[in-house]
Chain A
Amino acid sequence: DAGVIQSPRHEVTEMGQEVTLRCKPISGHNSLFWYRQTMMRGLELLIYFNNNVPIDDSGMPEDRFSAKMPNASFSTLKIQPSEPRDSAVYFCASASGGTTGELFFGEGSRLTVL
């Protein structure tokens, strides 16, 4: 398996623009997570999907952030409008669920908002 695939790897945009990050989880995994990593705050869980259904989005910082999972093989994280403080690396991770909880991460999308 190719692992968790994220795109784009790098995104530079101007404040106010819409940003869409994409993720393809490992085939057969029924849990998908979006994380954000910064030097100051480390890894933060933004949202968790199970069987394509958002279970907990309490980590989503503001209404400017939204995430969807239209099917088992694709998820998006959208920021609209973007702000400089959104600059971070955004990771997608997937897991096979159950109580094993072993996480597999993508390479991340590095977002810079000018």
Chain B
Amino acid sequence: KQEVTQIPAALSVPEGENLVLNCSFTDSAIYNLQWFRQDPGKGLTSLLLIQSSQREQTSGRLNASLDKSSGRSTLYIAASQPGDSATYLCAVYPGGFKTIFGAGTRLFVKA
């Protein structure tokens, strides 16, 4: 059974710091991995989608990597800003239709 774990559950950093959020999954047979951002009271916003054949994806200050063999993905945020404060969720798509979500990492960037 596929399980997705995100560590840490919460993180507080000063503005300007580079940071890494971690995601691990138990079954390497996935089609893709997706990182989402969720602001309080809002829906999930897709940040990056990494296909199983890819190693990483970049969007602005965000870089996500995928290592299927070790069952790990990282989301790197460069030069963090207070506006980056949100919950970040990792989700894997093992095929079929059921995307498996992690519990998320709550990030707080202090000004």
Q: CB distance B95 to A99 under 8 Å?
A: yes
Q: CB distance B95 to A102 under 8 Å?
A: no
Q: CB distance B97 to A102 under 8 Å?
A: no
Give A22-52 as 1s and 0s: 1 = Cβ < 8 Å from B's Cβ atoms.
0000000001010000000011010010100
Whether A91 touches B91, Cβ cut-off 8 Å, given contacts A50-B97, A101-B31, A102-B32, is: no
Residues from chain B with a CB closer than 8 A to the CB of A102 are 32, 34, 46, 49
Give B16-35 as 1s and 0s: 1 = Cβ < 8 Å from A's Cβ atoms.
00000000000000011010
Q: CB distance B93 to A101 under 8 Å?
A: yes
Cβ distance A40 to chain B, nearest Cβ, rounded Å: 11
Main SS at interface, chain A: strand
Kindly count the residue-residue contacts between A and B in the assembled complex, taking CB atoms under 8 Å apart.
56
A: number of interface residues (CB 8 Å): 23
Whether A56 touches B97, Cβ cut-off 8 Å, given contacts A91-B44, A103-B34, is: yes
Is A71 on the interface with B (CB-CB < 8 A)? no
Cβ distance B22 to chain A, nearest Cβ, rounded Å: 17
Is B61 on the interface with A (CB-CB < 8 A)? no
9 contacts between A and B (CB under 8 A): A45-B99, A48-B97, A100-B32, A101-B34, A101-B93, A102-B34, A103-B44, A105-B36, A107-B43
Given contacts A91-B44, A105-B46, 15 further A-B contacts (CB under 8 A): A33-B99, A42-B101, A45-B98, A50-B97, A100-B31, A100-B49, A100-B51, A101-B97, A102-B46, A103-B44, A103-B91, A104-B46, A107-B42, A107-B43, A108-B43
